Amino acid sequence: MAFAILQIISILLNVAITVIIVQAIMSWLLAFNVINLQNDIVRAIWTTLDALTAPIYNPIRKIMPDFGAIDLTPMVVIIGIIILQDAILPPLAQALLG
């Protein structure tokens, strides 16, 4: 049972990284006017991605200094998730599974 829970956590963390990368790429496409929010599908995807990432980004944005137009928050979150996956989950798995 513990193994299944750890696998689910790992999958969710991988999905979070994917969502963050997709949102970052989409923000670049919006910034360079490759896509725009006039399109209903683009707006729906952007709103969904923003709703998923805003609760993660907002506390980190309060801590990080302002770099102007460059937002390093997605990179910080991805690094944090990778650290969580590589440094915390394996010892936790070993402790739970024996």
Series of mean pLDDT values for 10-residue runs along the chain (98 residues): 89 97 96 95 98 96 90 96 93 86
Q: Quote the domain boundaries for residue 91.
A: 2-97
Would you state the pLDDT for residue 17? 98
Tally of CB atoms within 10 A around 72: 13
List, in sequence order, the alpha helices (H) in the chain. 2-31, 40-63, 73-83, 89-97
pLDDT of residue 39: 96
Nearest to 19 by CA among 61, 64, 50, 42: 50
- pLDDT for res 2: 82
- Count of domains observed in the chain: 1
Alpha-carbon distances, residue 3 vs 9, 77, 84 (angstroms) = 10, 25, 17
